[in-house]
């Protein structure tokens, strides 16, 4: 399979540079980042190439692993690990406190609320005592959409899967606090997205 035949996301191409600008600060002393829900792997290969001081460890649900492996074989550098199968609802295939960074983009509004809760339980267990968590995507504030396009997107998400939906930042902060994390920064990003940086 050639590069042009692999799954491709235009939104990844559009958002990767603004996300990188934040990660260069948030992960500046981080050594090993686990990515949850790597999807096409475009973020993984780009961030690994531009954050050479750390190792990037992509993961996703089993059905995404084969194309992810292929993209990494074609485009990945030395500091990207082979992708691992990881569904947040099952035990994560890594040790307690094994990574000092966790990143996830555009996943919390796809997962059900129960899965988002599992996501933060896993973060609590596997992020080191000095680690950082960065999550990117759309969020609501006090149950309010931040734009009409996000409202439309939420309708589309729920039509596709009734358990999906844009999450309230207040609920995400509660889950993060229960996981021993506090909000370091809430970055405004293009296209009405946010990048939330939490640390222990
Ligand atoms: C919209 S895609 C985002 C992919 C990529 N991060 C991006 O920004 O383009 C949502 C991702 O969440 C992942 N995902 C959904 N439910 C999951 C779960 N229970 N455990 C792990 N990943 C999950 C999907 O497999 C998919 O890769």
Average of per-residue pLDDT across 142-150? 96
pLDDT at 78: 96
Q: Which CATH number fits the domain that encloses residue 178? A: 3.40.50.150
Which residues form the domain of 111? 3-199
- Mean of the per-residue pLDDT values for the chain? 97
Pairing of strands 32-36, 99-105: parallel
**Closest ligand 1 atom, residue 12 Cα:** 9
Whether the CB-CB separation of 100 and 131 falls below 8 Å is answered with yes
If you average pLDDT over residues 38-64, what whole number do you get?
Answer: 98
Q: Are 136 and 110 in contact (CB under 8 A)?
A: no
pLDDT at 121: 98
Taking 3-state DSSP, the helix, strand and coil percentages for the chain, each rounded to the nearest 5, stand at 40, 25, 30
Average pLDDT over residues 110-121: 98
Q: What would the mean pLDDT of 132-148 be, rounded to a whole number?
A: 97
What is the 50 CA–ligand 1 centroid distance (Å)?
22
Mutate to test the pocket of ligand 1, among 6, 37, 87, 193 (most ligand atoms within 8 A of CB): 37
What's the CA-to-centroid distance between 43 and ligand 1, angstroms? 12
Residue 164 has pLDDT above 90, yes or no: yes
Q: Which two tokens mark 13?
A: 């191409």
- CA dist list (Å): 95 to 31, 34, 124: 16, 12, 12
Q: What is the pLDDT of residue 14?
A: 97
Q: How many helices (H) and strands (E) does the chain have?
A: 6, 10
Decide if pLDDT at 1 tops 90.
no
Question: What does the pLDDT look like over 3-21, one tens digit per residue?
Answer: 999 999 999 999 999 999 9
Distance 82 CA to ligand 1 centre (A): 17
Q: Give the residue, by CA position, lying nearest to ligand 1 atom 20.
A: 87
- Tell me what pLDDT residue 105 has: 98
Specify the number of domains making up the chain. Answer: 1
- Give which of 14, 73, 5, 3 is closest to 43, Cα–Cα: 14
Pocket of ligand 1 (CB under 6 A): 9, 12, 36-39, 43, 60-61, 64, 86-89, 105-107, 110-111, 115
Residue 134 pLDDT class (50, 70, 90 cuts)? very high
Q: What are phi and psi of 40, to 5 degrees?
A: -70, -20
Which mutation among 39, 41, 134, 189 tests ligand 1's pocket best, with the greatest number of atoms within 8 A of CB?
39
């Amino acid at each position: 399979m050639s590069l042009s035949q692999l799954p491709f996301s235009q939104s990844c191409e559009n958002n990767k540079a603004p996300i990188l600008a934040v990660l260069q600060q948030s992960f500046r002393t981080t050594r090993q980042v686990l990515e949850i829900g790597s999807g096409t792997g475009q973020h993984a290969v780009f961030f690994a190439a531009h954050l050479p001081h750390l190792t990037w460890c992509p993961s996703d649900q089993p059905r995404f692993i084969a194309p992810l492996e292929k993209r990494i074989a074609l485009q990945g550098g030395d500091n990207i690990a082979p992708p691992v199968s990881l569904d947040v609802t099952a035990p994560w295939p890594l040790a307690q406190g094994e990574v000092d960074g966790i990143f996830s983009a555009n996943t919390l509004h796809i997962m059900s609320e129960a899965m988002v809760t599992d996501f933060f339980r896993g973060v609590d267990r596997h992020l080191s005592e000095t680690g950082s968590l960065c999550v990117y995507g759309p969020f609501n504030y006090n149950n309010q959409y931040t734009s009409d396009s996000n409202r439309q997107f939420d309708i589309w998400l729920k039509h596709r899967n009734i358990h999906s939906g844009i999450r309230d930042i207040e609920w995400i902060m509660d889950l993060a606090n229960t996981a021993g994390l506090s909000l370091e920064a809430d970055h405004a990003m293009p296209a009405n997205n946010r990048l939330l940086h939490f640390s222990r």
